[in-house]
């Protein structure tokens, strides 16, 4: 019996290279070893964007198309949309009953989200009941598949702790049933943004999986380099080249990296030329992914089918778990 993995993303738009290198590449590898469930957390998106739903559907399709393009395989993994598995909402109700209020109130990730909402950027939004329930709903996602491992970034670990606490409490009250899921840490800081800060869509420093080659090349030209270098024959310091050289280390092969380093140090390579070559390199690495994405963009019907089919499969598993849960709680 394979161990079960569940992970989700809020569908907030097209994914960038940080998502690809830090999260999805890892998921792709997990597919062969585990029974994997990957879903778009559209209810979680509603916890803060309940009044901005115009793009929710397209965002969900975009996220799934990015996954498929990167190699998430619907024949190996179950790909679904959270709201198409209503069993999760029922489990959420049961878990809510056994979760003490102070467990959610002290959740640090939630506290951070609440802080941001209250600022200008969050337009002074109130915190609603649904947002307070974020960690419980996330527990329902995870326990719905009775999963063993949850690949997440370090910012989500507190949520997994609550999930484990809730599972333990359920098992104590109603009888041993849920596994205590463990976090499997993603390497989120693998690639920085073009400006050297954390890569993020809201910082406008990202390269999207779905960007064109022209867009990518243009963006790369804005990447930070060795700031002490003014002319192209100044001797460069790759280790102080904050972004461009780091990207070379991620995308180049050994040969290319040592050529760049050597020519930079000797003043034989200008930064503009270096970044033109880097852009071409990144484009060539992403070419097969982008080709696949284009295929799905032109065949969205197929994407919809993958989602419908995956959601049905997720529901089958969810219904098995839920019938056990109802029995244990002694529901009618």
Binding site for ligand SF4 (CB under 6 A): 225-226, 229, 236, 238, 241, 244-245, 260, 264, 269, 271, 274-275
Q: How many CA atoms lie within 13 A of 126 on its CB side?
A: 4
- Residues 217 and 213: their CA atoms lie apart, in Å, by 6
- Residues 284 and 251: their CA atoms lie apart, in Å, by 10
Binding span for ligand TRP by CB under 6 A among 65-73, 94-102, 137-145, 315-323: 137-145
The pair of structure tokens assigned to 311 is 């959601």
Judged by beta carbon distances under 5 to 8 A according to partner kind, the member of ligand SF4, ligand TRP, none in contact with residue 205 is: none
Q: What are the C-alpha distances in Å from 127 to residues 59, 113, 122?
A: 23, 9, 11
Judged by beta carbon distances under 5 to 8 A according to partner kind, the member of ligand SF4, ligand TRP, none in contact with residue 6 is: ligand TRP
Helix (H, G, I), strand (E, B) or coil at 93: helix
Which residue from 177, 189, 166, 150 is spatially nearest to 107, judged by alpha carbons? 166
**Closest approach of ligand SF4 to the CB of residue 243, in Å:** 8
Q: Which of residues 24-43 bind ligand TRP (CB under 6 A)?
A: 41
- Residues 79 and 322: their CA atoms lie apart, in Å, by 19
Maximum distance among all alpha carbons in the chain?
Answer: 79
Q: Name the helix (H) or strand (E) containing 114.
A: helix 108-118
Q: What are the C-alpha distances in Å from 251 to residues 187, 247, 285?
A: 16, 6, 7
- Residues 303 and 74: their CA atoms lie apart, in Å, by 10
Query: Phi and psi dihedrals of 78, rounded to 5?
Result: -95, 115
Angle between helix 108-118 and 157-174 (nearest 10): 130
Judged by beta carbon distances under 5 to 8 A according to partner kind, the member of ligand TRP, ligand SF4, none in contact with residue 117 is: none
Q: Are strands 182-185 and 149-152 parallel, antiparallel or unpaired?
A: parallel
Per-residue x/- track, 141-180, ligand TRP (CB under 6 A): xx-------x-x---x------------------------
The answer to the question of residue 85 lying near ligand TRP (CB under 6 A) is no
Judged by beta carbon distances under 5 to 8 A according to partner kind, the member of ligand SF4, ligand TRP, none in contact with residue 68 is: none
- For ligand TRP, give the closer residue by CB, 9 or 220: 9
Q: Name the helix (H) or strand (E) containing 23.
A: none
Binding span for ligand TRP by CB under 6 A among 5-13, 25-33, 57-65, 189-197: 5-13
Judged by beta carbon distances under 5 to 8 A according to partner kind, the member of ligand SF4, ligand TRP, none in contact with residue 274 is: ligand SF4
- Residues 170 and 325: their CA atoms lie apart, in Å, by 10
Binding span for ligand TRP by CB under 6 A among 3-11, 116-124, 265-273, 315-323: 3-11
Judged by beta carbon distances under 5 to 8 A according to partner kind, the member of ligand SF4, ligand TRP, none in contact with residue 186 is: none
- For ligand SF4, give the closer residue by CB, 74 or 238: 238
The answer to the question of residue 318 lying near ligand TRP (CB under 6 A) is no
The answer to the question of residue 47 lying near ligand TRP (CB under 6 A) is no
Helix (H, G, I), strand (E, B) or coil at 42: helix
**Closest approach of ligand SF4 to the CB of residue 21, in Å:** 19
Judged by beta carbon distances under 5 to 8 A according to partner kind, the member of ligand TRP, ligand SF4, none in contact with residue 16 is: none
- For ligand TRP, give the closer residue by CB, 9 or 91: 9
Judged by beta carbon distances under 5 to 8 A according to partner kind, the member of ligand TRP, ligand SF4, none in contact with residue 225 is: ligand SF4
- Residues 171 and 328: their CA atoms lie apart, in Å, by 9
In the complex, the residues that contact ligand TRP under the rule CB under 6 A are 6-10, 41, 44, 138, 141-142, 150, 152, 156
């Amino acid at each position: 019996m394979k161990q079960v993995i569940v992970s989700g993303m809020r569908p907030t738009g097209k994914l960038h290279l940080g998502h690809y290198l830090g999260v999805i590449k890892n998921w792709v590898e997990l597919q062969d070893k585990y029974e994997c469930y990957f879903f778009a957390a559209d209810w979680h998106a509603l916890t803060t964007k309940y009044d901005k739903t115009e793009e929710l559907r397209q965002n969900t399709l975009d996220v799934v198309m990015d996954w498929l393009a990167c190699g998430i395989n619907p024949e190996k993994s179950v790909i679904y949309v959270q709201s198409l598995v209503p069993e999760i909402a029922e489990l959420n109700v049961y878990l809510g009953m056994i979760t003490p209020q102070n467990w959610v109130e002290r959740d640090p990730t939630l506290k951070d989200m609440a802080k941001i909402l209250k600022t200008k950027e969050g337009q002074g939004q109130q915190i609603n009941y649904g947002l307070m329930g974020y960690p419980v709903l996330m527990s329902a996602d995870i326990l719905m598949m009775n999963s063993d491992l949850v690949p997440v970034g370090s910012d989500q670990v507190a949520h997994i702790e609550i999930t484990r606490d809730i599972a333990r409490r359920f098992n104590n009250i109603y009888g041993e049933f849920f596994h205590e899921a463990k976090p499997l840490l993603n390497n989120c800081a693998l690639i920085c943004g073009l400006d050297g800060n954390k890569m993020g869509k809201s910082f406008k420093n990202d390269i999207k999986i779905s960007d064109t080659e022209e867009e990518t090349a243009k963006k790369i030209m804005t990447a930070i380099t060795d700031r002490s270098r003014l002319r192209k024959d100044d001797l460069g310091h790759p280790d102080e080249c904050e972004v461009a050289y780091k990207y070379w280390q991620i995308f180049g092969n050994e040969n290319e990296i040592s050529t760049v380093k050597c020519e930079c140090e000797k003043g034989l390579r200008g930064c503009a030329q270096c970044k033109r070559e880097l852009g071409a390199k990144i484009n060539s690495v992403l070419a097969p992914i982008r080709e696949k994405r284009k295929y799905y963009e032109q065949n969205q019907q197929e994407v919809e089918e993958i989602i419908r089919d995956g959601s049905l499969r997720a529901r089958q598993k969810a219904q098995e778990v839920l019938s056990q849960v109802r029995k244990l709680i002694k529901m009618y």
